[in-house]
Amino acid sequence: MDDVWRHEYAIETSAAAETIWRIFRDVPGWKNWNAGIEEIAIDGPFAAGTWFTMKPPGEEALRSQLIEVRENSCFVDETRVGDLVIKVAHRIEPLGSARTRIVYAVDASGPQAAEIGPAVASDFPEVLASLVKLAEA
């Protein structure tokens, strides 16, 4: 039987949605604020259907695909490892009065999703904190 694991992580910032979006669109720059990325390369524009390759420190590189991209609002990437599928939605939610919430929503399904999902997402609080620090600088 396949497992399903879902979880969301969120942080608030004074940075504008457009500022956060600029950081998201700069895929080669992700490694500057995400310690979970040693190397990263995107195979085309920051648009639905484009593939990218990300190598975590000390691990094999993974191929992922952007499956949804909505400017200044959200992007979703999908990584498949065998029958395991991990989708991460990166949402930018305006809160009014110059506040923005950034949400990383993880959806893992397939064999061992309940073990692998939490491992994939374990650094998300630190990643979000680094993202906000950069966005507010």
Note down pLDDT in tens along the chain; length 137 residues: 569 999 999 999 999 999 999 999 999 999 999 999 999 999 999 999 999 999 999 999 999 999 999 999 999 999 999 999 999 999 999 998 889 999 999 999 999 999 999 999 999 999 999 999 999 99
The pTM is what?
A: 0.94
Secondary structure of the chain in the HEC alphabet?
CCEEEEEEEEEEECCCHHHHHHHHHCHHHHHHCCCCCCEEEECCCCCCCCEEEEECCCCCCEEEEEEEEECCCEEEEEEEECCEEEEEEEEEEEEECCEEEEEEEEEEEECCHHHHHHHHHCCHHHHHHHHHHHHHC
Q: Which domains does the chain have, with CATH numbers?
A: 3-136 (3.30.530.20)
